Structure 1
């Protein structure tokens, strides 16, 4: 899947665990069901934490991509 111009990129690079998950949770609260957001992180633990958060909270992790210096996650709010 390619990133659409309407999908927001939430830049959380430079933040360490647990901040990427906490900030993603807060940002998703302001979105409507079905909305998607790209979350960019540099924390190596995010590859464990973000998928776990999505599963526990009932959101859909659509895609995970490695980027320079970190990872990008496409999360769909449920």
Structure 2
């Protein structure tokens, strides 16, 4: 029988709870909204913000990170 490694389980759970963050470097180009509209939206000032959803994995966040022209998006640690 295979034993479950508690550290691997904890690392996996932590990875699933990662949340994207948008820095104040955002210029409001809305590329992230176009790519991941279920994760990002523009606030009243025209800058990207992260919507509060249950799970960010599988939502094309990595594509938004790459597309951001000022590298304002990253994953939380």
Structure 1 length-normalised TM: 0.30
Bigger strand fraction: 1
Bigger-Rg structure (1/2): 2
Structure 2 length-normalised TM: 0.30
